[in-house]
């Protein structure tokens, strides 16, 4: 039922729920690496899902770690003015509208950066930290590892998704080298 909120393209989603499998209808899913997509033009509305497992295997640990997300565009970290942290436990999925990570002014800067090149590599880096709220308990260190990630791109207002978002490095378009084709 919570996954339906993603399908309905609901803005501002921030959900942590039990489980570890992502729906097959996501635009892209991967079990390795860090979340990455290629964007042409302004940043699309995107929901990211991150599935975390316990690094200790079957051993049960009920503490929740803190996950912090950040965009990296063409290798440049995009620092946000506010820290947006998510508390999550093992065998849980974080579902997040990426628009939550930055304020409106910061998104204007991000869109301006994306318009400098035709295609831009956007990675969503994540950092898992001990939960600072549980200072009375001995630290077990970071207990989570990413087991799967997925991206769902909102379709509203997009005629052809592949012209704006791709999940592998896009090849050159027929217009990208137009200056080289003009003969003098």
Q: Please tell me the predicted confidence (pLDDT) of residue 107.
A: 93
Averaged over 77-101, what is the pLDDT? Answer: 89
Single pTM value for the model: 0.83
- Could you give the CA distance from residue 35 to residue 31 in angstroms, rounded to a whole number? 10
pLDDT tens figures, 8-44: 999 999 999 999 899 999 999 999 889 999 999 999 9
What residues have CB less than 8 Å from 155, skipping those under 6 apart? 9, 161
């Amino acid at each position: 039922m919570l996954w339906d909120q993603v399908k309905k393209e609901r803005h501002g989603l921030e959900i942590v729920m039990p489980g570890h499998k992502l729906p097959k209808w996501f635009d892209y899913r991967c079990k390795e690496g860090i979340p990455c997509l290629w964007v042409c033009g302004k940043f699309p509305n995107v929901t990211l899902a991150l599935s975390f497992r316990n690094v200790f295997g079957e051993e049960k640990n009920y503490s929740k770690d803190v996950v912090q997300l950040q965009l990296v565009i063409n290798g440049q970290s995009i620092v946000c003015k506010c820290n947006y942290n998510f508390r999550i436990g093992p065998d849980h999925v974080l579902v997040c509208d990426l628009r939550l990570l930055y304020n409106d002014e910061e998104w204007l800067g991000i869109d301006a950066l994306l318009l400098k090149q035709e295609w831009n590599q956007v990675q969503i880096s994540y950092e898992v930290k001990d939960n600072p709220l549980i200072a009375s308990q001995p630290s077990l260190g970071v207990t989570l590892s990413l087991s799967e990630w997925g991206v769902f791109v909102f379709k509203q207002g997009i005629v052809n998704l592949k012209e704006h978002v791709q999940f592998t490095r896009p090849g050159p378009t027929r217009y990208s080298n137009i200056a080289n084709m003009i003969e003098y």
